[in-house]
């Protein structure tokens, strides 16, 4: 939860991205606001609402800048998560239904997990990644982690999550909305492998 909240804060609030989005939406509805005959606020208040509050309602930038500043100052936001780097798939294009080994380097971690699925309409499943020298991860204790999954579809989706006692982090940071992919090597069919057994209008 905190990993995603940190990403949202960094990507939308701390850098002002939300302001640009708000300005786009304000421009989109500007004419409709001017023509509204039963509005709770006048048009001038609408124009100034990005930065200026109305009664007890703060302006958007006042609200979000204050919130981002508050979050950045909290103890939990200041904790240092592990690092994730050098993510790889071995083999790069595994044979369909064979094992694909996912590796990464993670420092300062107490738990490393691999989330994966074989279809966009399925939920991600998580499995533990190990640094024990037994999971195609190099030597035990070298901060290289590995986990094997069955390459059960043409395109596989995956991400990495790692944490320590203080904080966690995803790679990519917007997982599970964003994710990495790899494709499998599907054998070409030979004559007789594919049979039409039904024809429908």
Which residue, chain included where needed, has tokens 């001017």? 34
The burial class, CB within 10 Å (0-12 / 13-18 / 19+), for 36 is: middle
Q: Please, what sign has the CA dihedral across residues 43, 47, 50, 52?
A: negative
- pLDDT given at position 190: 84
Count, in order, helices (H) and strands (E) of the chain.
4, 8
- pLDDT given at position 187: 81
Is the separation of the CB atoms in 109 and 162 below 8 Å? yes
Q: How far apart are CA 173 and CA 4, in angstroms?
A: 7
Partnered with residue 114 across adjacent β-strands are: 127, 160
Q: How far apart are CA 49 and CA 129, in angstroms?
A: 49
Q: How far apart are CA 83 and CA 131, in angstroms?
A: 15
Distance set, CA 20 to CA 26, 29, 50 (Å): 10, 15, 10
Query: Tens-digit pLDDT profile for the chain (201 aa)?
Result: 999 999 999 999 988 899 999 999 999 999 999 999 998 889 999 999 999 988 888 999 999 999 999 999 999 999 999 999 999 999 999 999 999 999 999 999 999 999 999 999 999 999 999 999 999 999 999 999 999 999 999 999 999 999 999 999 999 999 999 999 999 998 888 888 888 889 998
- pLDDT given at position 181: 97
Q: What pTM, to 2 d.p., does this model score?
A: 0.83
């Amino acid at each position: 939860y905190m990993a995603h909240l940190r990403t949202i804060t960094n990507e939308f609030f701390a850098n002002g991205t939300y302001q640009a989005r708000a300005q786009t939406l304000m421009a989109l509805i500007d004419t409709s606001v001017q023509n509204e005959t039963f509005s709770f606020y006048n048009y001038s208040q609408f124009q100034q609402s990005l930065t200026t509050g109305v009664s007890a309602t703060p302006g958007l930038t006042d609200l979000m800048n204050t919130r981002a500043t508050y979050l950045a100052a909290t103890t939990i936001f200041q904790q240092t998560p592990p690092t994730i780097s050098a993510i790889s798939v071995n083999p790069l294009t595994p044979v369909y239904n064979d094992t694909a080994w996912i590796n990464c380097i993670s420092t300062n971690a107490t738990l490393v997990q691999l989330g994966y699925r074989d279809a966009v309409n399925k939920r991600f499943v998580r499995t533990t990644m190990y640094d024990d020298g037994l999971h195609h991860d190099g030597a035990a204790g070298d901060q290289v982690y590995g986990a094997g999954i069955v390459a059960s579809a043409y395109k596989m989706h995956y991400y990495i999550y790692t944490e320590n006692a203080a904080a966690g982090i995803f790679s990519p940071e917007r997982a599970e909305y964003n994710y990495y992919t790899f494709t499998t090597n599907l054998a070409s069919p030979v004559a007789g492998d594919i049979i039409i057994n039904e024809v429908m209008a």
